[in-house]
Amino acid sequence: MRAAERPHDYEEALPAWELLTRNSTRACSGRNTGYRVLFSPMEQLNGMDAGFLNMETPVQRGHVGGVVIVDPSTAPDDWGYDTIRALIQDRIHLLPPFRRRLVTVPFDIDHPYWVEDDAFDLDFHLRHIAVPSPGDAETLATLVARIHERPLDRSRPLWEMYVIEGLDGGRVATYTKLHHAAVDGVSGAEILTILLDTSPDDHDIGVRHAPDRETKRATRVPGQVELLARSALSAAVRPAKAFRLGYEVARSIPGLKPLESLPALVGLGRERDELLSRPSLVAPHTVLNAPITPHRRWAFGDIALGTAKAIKDAAGVTVNDVVIATAAGAVRRWLVENDALPTRSLQAMVPISIRTESEEGDIGNKVSAMIAPIGTHLEDSVERLEFVHQTMQVAKETHQATPATLLRDFAEFTPPAVAARAARLVFRNGRAGRITPFNLVISNVPGPNFPLYLAGAQLEGHYPVSAIIDGAALNITLHSYRGMLCFGLVADRELIPDLWDVMGYVRDEFAALEDRLT
């Protein structure tokens, strides 16, 4: 079974997370692990990885992040910044993206390379700060949003971690951001399992058993002539890649559902039922599709996973359907409040992993996406859930009719210099939001249903902090953890100043469905 055909529901995804956690435990014990710890000293980015670099502008960022909140009182020993620093220092040999920096090719004629940073400085990447009083959720969210809106330094490994003290109840948060060029959602989760443990007593395993952790590996940075020579070889095989790509596309055409006409793609000339059942190439214009600013807002919160499962069982749908339908209901409420609800349904981009079993443990991007209408034109929450269930089935069938790696192959085939300049032209001129196939992003990453520990302190929650772009000023992402759905909402500060209201509407939508169906 290829990755694009794998189940997307939480119950079926949990064993994979358990496997990741077991892998991290083996890695910290110095035993065999699925991670390729001894990676090549110089590794080239693929086309999709490079695309996340090219998308960056003065207002648009290419990194993603996450906030972990822990209770230090649960740790068996004294716990603080120094504890986390010691943990990272002892496990840094297991974290390739934490130690690699970029080397670009002259004139952008080929994709950049990752190389070991011989001048790596942990104290540059790990910072220690505190939130002002009262240290509540909104205070933390404001601080995280301000850090998240700042770009990463491309001359160093593309990550930062902040240990944030001063939260109410004596709790401590860590906010970590990594560039999307280095990780996708799945590999980011795998990195997290390296830093987290399944027991409060396991946090020193890396100290006792880390193999050769003191060994520093010298990496010769190639000169411009060598990089140009490598690029010439890559260009020589690009026609063969184009031929193979064309063959894969042609082979997949018989499986694709026929399109009635080009006007149908943009939402014209179809019956209403057909119009609403499939996505169009042009999403309805909303206030979410304006050019964004450099400033961000972040809001977060929890929903009981049991509530989502009860709704799922009563309606005969999936947990993912419930998540998307409630997110759609929340966005609909916000648009109604702002007198900005279009008559057509909004369309969401739903990222999915195309990681095969042989690629488990690989760092980097193995992602694709589905686009589907999400039922914002429907006022009734139950009807919206049924609509989302139908449209997601259509989206999955359409996506599975094409080769799982087709998007990645297209990104790899495009000449790097052309792709880079095209991205800069589109994004830096603010053209990306004028005509877009989706209005927002809704994503989820399944997680474990058992407690995890950071350096011995138990996690209370893990909340994503994702990215927004011109044309999609709202991102709703969630992780599941220990019986909770941990939501993290990111938006442009000027376009959606009341983002906490949207998080509140998410809770209201779950409550409405629970009251109606259970």
What is the H or E stretch that residue 254 is in?
none
3-state secondary structure of 348: strand
Token digits of residue 361:
């443990």
Q: Which residues pair with 115 in a beta bridge?
A: 42, 101
Does residue 389 carry a catalytic annotation? no
The answer for 316, left when phi > 0, alpha when psi is -120 to 50, beta otherwise, is left
- Separation between Cα atoms, residue 388 and residue 8, nearest integer Å: 14
H runs (alpha helix) in 260-337: 262-265, 272-277, 305-315, 319-337
Residues ≥6 apart with Cβ < 8 Å to 96: 36, 37, 39, 114, 363
471 and 348 Cβ atoms separated by less than 8 Å: no
Crossing angle between the packed helical segments 499-517 and 319-337, to the nearest 10 degrees:
130
Q: Cα(275)–Cα(267) distance, rounded to whole angstroms? A: 6
DSSP, res 18: H
| Angstrom distances, CA of residue 358 to CA of 25, 192, 243, 366, 405 | 20, 20, 25, 12, 14
What does the CA dihedral 136, 498, 346, 320 come to, rounded to 10 degrees? 10
State the first-to-last Cα distance of the chain, in angstroms, to the nearest integer: 35
Compute φ and ψ for 152, nearest 5 degrees.
Answer: -85, 155
> Under DSSP, is residue 352 helix (H, G, I), strand (E, B) or coil?
strand
Assign 390 to helix, strand or coil: helix
Sign of CA dihedral 402, 407, 412, 417: positive
No. of H helices and E strands in the chain? Answer: 17, 16
- In degrees, rounded to 5, the angle at the alpha carbon of residue 93 between the alpha carbons of residues 88 and 98 is 65
Q: Are 143 and 156 in contact (CB under 8 A)?
A: no
Are the C-beta atoms of 469 and 217 separated by less than 8 Å?
Answer: no
Joined together, the tokens standing for residue 17 give 């997370």
Q: What single DSSP character describes residue 282? A: S
d(CA 16, CA 9): 12
CA 166 vs. chain centroid, Å, equals 28
Q: Which of 93, 125, 148, 180 is catalytic?
A: 180
Rounded Cα distance between 94 and 29, Å, is 11
Q: Which residues pair with 301 in a beta bridge?
A: 487
Which residues belong to the active site? 180
